[in-house]
A and B are shown apart, each in its own frame.
Chain A
Amino acid sequence: MSDRRPPLDGVRVLAQGLVWAGPFSTVILSDLGAEVIEVESIQHLNPTRTQMRHIPDVVMESVGGTYYVNRDPSEGFWNRQAWFNYGKRGCKSVTLNLHSARGRELFLELVKQSDAFIENNAAGVVDSLGIGWDVLHATNPRLIMVRFPGFGITGPYSHHKGYGSNMEAVAGHTMVRGYADADPSLTPASLHGDPNAGAHVAWAVQAALLARERTGEGQLIEISQSEAVLHHIAYDILDYTLNGRETGQRGNNHPAFAPYGVFPCAGHDRWIAIAVTSDEGFAALSEVIGAPELASDERFATTIDRLRHRSEVNAAVGERTGAMQNEQLAKALQERGVTASALAHQQEMHEDEHLRSRGYFNSITHPEAGTHLYPGPLAKLERTVAVPPFQPAPTLGQHNEYVLKDLLGLDDAAYQQLIEEQVIGDTYLESATA
Chain B
Amino acid sequence: MSGPLEGWRVLDLTQGIAGPYVTKLCSDYGANVLKVERPGVGDASRNIGPFPGDHPNVDASGMFLTLNTGKHSVTLNLKTKTGREILLRLAKEADLVVESFRAGTLERLDLAPERFAEANPSAALVRISNFGQTGPMRDFSADDLTAYAAAGILQVTGEPDREPVGLGIYTPLFLAGAIVAPMALAAMRAAHRDGQQEVVDFSIQEGLAGSMDRGGTNLVSFQYSGALMVERRERVLINSLPNGVFPCADGYIQVTTQVNWFDRFCRVIGRPEWITDPRMTSNLNNPLEIGGEVEAAFYEWLLPRTKQQAMEEAQAVGWPLSALNTPADVIRDPHFRERGFFVGIDHPQAGHIELPGLAVRFSDTPGEVRRPPLLGEHTFEVLAGLGYAPQEIAALRAESVI
On whether the beta carbons of A345 and B315 are closer than 8 Å, the reply is no
A212 and chain B: residue at smallest CB distance: B4
On whether the beta carbons of A207 and B4 are closer than 8 Å, the reply is yes
CB distance from B111 to the nearest CB of A (A): 17
CB distance from B382 to the nearest CB of A (A): 24
On whether the beta carbons of A7 and B330 are closer than 8 Å, the reply is no
On whether the beta carbons of A24 and B212 are closer than 8 Å, the reply is yes
On whether the beta carbons of A232 and B200 are closer than 8 Å, the reply is no
In whole angstroms, how far apart are the Cα atoms of A87 and B200 in the complex? Answer: 21
On whether the beta carbons of A170 and B196 are closer than 8 Å, the reply is no
Q: B54: which A residues are within 8 A, CB to CB? A: 243
Q: B385: which A residues are within 8 A, CB to CB? A: none
CB distance from B201 to the nearest CB of A (A): 4
Q: Which of B189, B245, B334 is in CB contact (< 8 Å) with A156? A: B334
On whether the beta carbons of B245 and A185 are closer than 8 Å, the reply is yes
B252 and chain A: residue at smallest CB distance: A184
- Interface-facing stretch out of A187-195, A284-292, A395-403, A416-424: A187-195
In whole angstroms, how far apart are the Cα atoms of A220 and B182 in the complex? Answer: 18
The contact string, 1 if C-beta is below 8 Å from chain A, for chain B 181-212, is 11101110110011011111111011101111
Q: A347: which B residues are within 8 A, CB to CB? A: 222, 228
In whole angstroms, how far apart are the Cα atoms of A251 and B326 in the complex? Answer: 15
Other than the given A155-B335, A219-B362, A372-B223, 16 more pairs (CB < 8 A) read A66-B224, A155-B338, A162-B322, A188-B159, A208-B4, A211-B362, A227-B356, A231-B359, A262-B166, A343-B155, A347-B228, A348-B152, A350-B223, A357-B136, A378-B183, A379-B207
B279 touches A (CB below 8 Å): no
In chain A, positions 353-388 with a C-beta closer than 8 Å to chain B are 353-355, 357-358, 360, 369, 372-376, 378-385
A-B CB proximity, top 6 nearest: A238-B62, A66-B227, A211-B4, A375-B210, A7-B186, A177-B168
Knowing A195-B212, A231-B174, the reply to whether A224 touches B194 (Cβ < 8 A) is no
Q: B152: which A residues are within 8 A, CB to CB? A: 343-346, 348-349
Knowing A172-B329, A240-B328, A337-B141, the reply to whether A222 touches B170 (Cβ < 8 A) is no
On whether the beta carbons of A262 and B149 are closer than 8 Å, the reply is yes
In whole angstroms, how far apart are the Cα atoms of A203 and B138 in the complex? Answer: 27
Q: B390: which A residues are within 8 A, CB to CB? A: none
| Residues of B bordering A, CB below 8 Å | 3-8, 21, 25, 29, 48-54, 62-63, 65-67, 131-132, 134-138, 140-143, 145-152, 154-159, 162-171, 174-175, 178-183, 185-187, 189-190, 193-194, 196-203, 205-207, 209-225, 227-233, 244-247, 252-254, 256, 311, 315, 318-331, 333-336, 338-339, 341, 350, 353-357, 359-365
CB distance from A100 to the nearest CB of B (A): 26
In whole angstroms, how far apart are the Cα atoms of A331 and B18 in the complex? Answer: 24
Q: List 20 A-B contacts (CB under 8 A).
A: A167-B322, A169-B323, A185-B244, A200-B178, A200-B359, A208-B362, A224-B361, A227-B341, A232-B168, A234-B63, A238-B50, A252-B166, A261-B163, A341-B147, A346-B221, A346-B230, A357-B136, A358-B134, A378-B206, A381-B200
In whole angstroms, how far apart are the Cα atoms of A25 and B216 in the complex? Answer: 13
On whether the beta carbons of B319 and A161 are closer than 8 Å, the reply is yes
The contact string, 1 if C-beta is below 8 Å from chain B, for chain A 67-86, is 11111000000001011011
B134 and chain A: residue at smallest CB distance: A358
In whole angstroms, how far apart are the Cα atoms of A144 and B86 in the complex? Answer: 39
Q: B254: which A residues are within 8 A, CB to CB? A: 165-166, 169, 174
Q: B157: which A residues are within 8 A, CB to CB? A: 188, 190
In whole angstroms, how far apart are the Cα atoms of A190 and B172 in the complex? Answer: 11
A221 touches B (CB below 8 Å): yes
CB distance from B199 to the nearest CB of A (A): 5
Q: B315: which A residues are within 8 A, CB to CB? A: 157, 159-161
Knowing A2-B196, A236-B169, the reply to whether A275 touches B145 (Cβ < 8 A) is yes
B218 and chain A: residue at smallest CB distance: A346
Q: A136: which B residues are within 8 A, CB to CB? A: none
CB distance from A350 to the nearest CB of B (A): 7
A338 and chain B: residue at smallest CB distance: B141
Q: Which of A69, A255, A273 is in CB contact (< 8 Å) with B145? A: A273
A391 touches B (CB below 8 Å): no
In whole angstroms, how far apart are the Cα atoms of A353 and B213 in the complex? Answer: 23
A28 touches B (CB below 8 Å): yes
CB distance from B141 to the nearest CB of A (A): 4
Q: Which of A203, A263, A345 is in CB contact (< 8 Å) with B155? A: A345
Q: B187: which A residues are within 8 A, CB to CB? A: 7, 381, 384
In whole angstroms, how far apart are the Cα atoms of A243 and B331 in the complex? Answer: 13
Q: Which of A70, A199, A217, A372 is in CB contact (< 8 Å) with B182? A: A199
Q: Which of B149, B209, B225, B361 is in CB contact (< 8 Å) with A343? A: B149
On whether the beta carbons of A374 and B220 are closer than 8 Å, the reply is yes
On whether the beta carbons of A152 and B339 are closer than 8 Å, the reply is yes
Knowing A174-B254, A200-B359, the reply to whether A232 touches B50 (Cβ < 8 A) is no
Knowing A195-B179, A378-B206, A378-B210, the reply to whether A252 touches B223 (Cβ < 8 A) is no
On whether the beta carbons of B224 and A372 are closer than 8 Å, the reply is yes
A179 touches B (CB below 8 Å): yes
On whether the beta carbons of B7 and A214 are closer than 8 Å, the reply is yes
A interface size (C-beta, 8 A) = 157
CB distance from B83 to the nearest CB of A (A): 26
Knowing A250-B168, A382-B198, the reply to whether A355 touches B163 (Cβ < 8 A) is no
In whole angstroms, how far apart are the Cα atoms of A210 and B216 in the complex? Answer: 29
Interface centre among B3, B180, B203 (most CB of A within 10 A): B203
Q: A71: which B residues are within 8 A, CB to CB? A: 225
In whole angstroms, how far apart are the Cα atoms of A28 and B136 in the complex? Answer: 26
CB distance from B366 to the nearest CB of A (A): 10
A108 touches B (CB below 8 Å): no
In whole angstroms, how far apart are the Cα atoms of A9 and B4 in the complex? Answer: 20
In whole angstroms, how far apart are the Cα atoms of A354 and B154 in the complex? Answer: 19
On whether the beta carbons of A210 and B178 are closer than 8 Å, the reply is no
Q: B318: which A residues are within 8 A, CB to CB? A: 161
Q: A379: which B residues are within 8 A, CB to CB? A: 179-180, 183, 200-202, 206-207
A178 and chain B: residue at smallest CB distance: B165
On whether the beta carbons of A235 and B170 are closer than 8 Å, the reply is yes
Interface centre among A32, A67, A256, A349 (most CB of B within 10 A): A349
Q: A256: which B residues are within 8 A, CB to CB? A: 48-49
In whole angstroms, how far apart are the Cα atoms of A262 and B320 in the complex? Answer: 33
In whole angstroms, how far apart are the Cα atoms of A242 and B145 in the complex? Answer: 25
On whether the beta carbons of B326 and A248 are closer than 8 Å, the reply is yes
Knowing A7-B186, A65-B225, the reply to whether A237 touches B327 (Cβ < 8 A) is yes
Interface centre among B217, B319, B320, B357 (most CB of A within 10 A): B217
CB distance from B315 to the nearest CB of A (A): 5
On whether the beta carbons of B183 and A32 are closer than 8 Å, the reply is yes
In whole angstroms, how far apart are the Cα atoms of A263 and B149 in the complex? Answer: 12
On whether the beta carbons of A343 and B229 are closer than 8 Å, the reply is no
Q: A221: which B residues are within 8 A, CB to CB? A: 360-363
On whether the beta carbons of B364 and A383 are closer than 8 Å, the reply is no
Knowing A234-B62, A341-B146, the reply to whether A273 touches B154 (Cβ < 8 A) is yes
A8 touches B (CB below 8 Å): yes
Knowing A86-B220, A345-B229, the reply to whether A206 touches B338 (Cβ < 8 A) is no
In whole angstroms, how far apart are the Cα atoms of A2 and B121 in the complex? Answer: 12
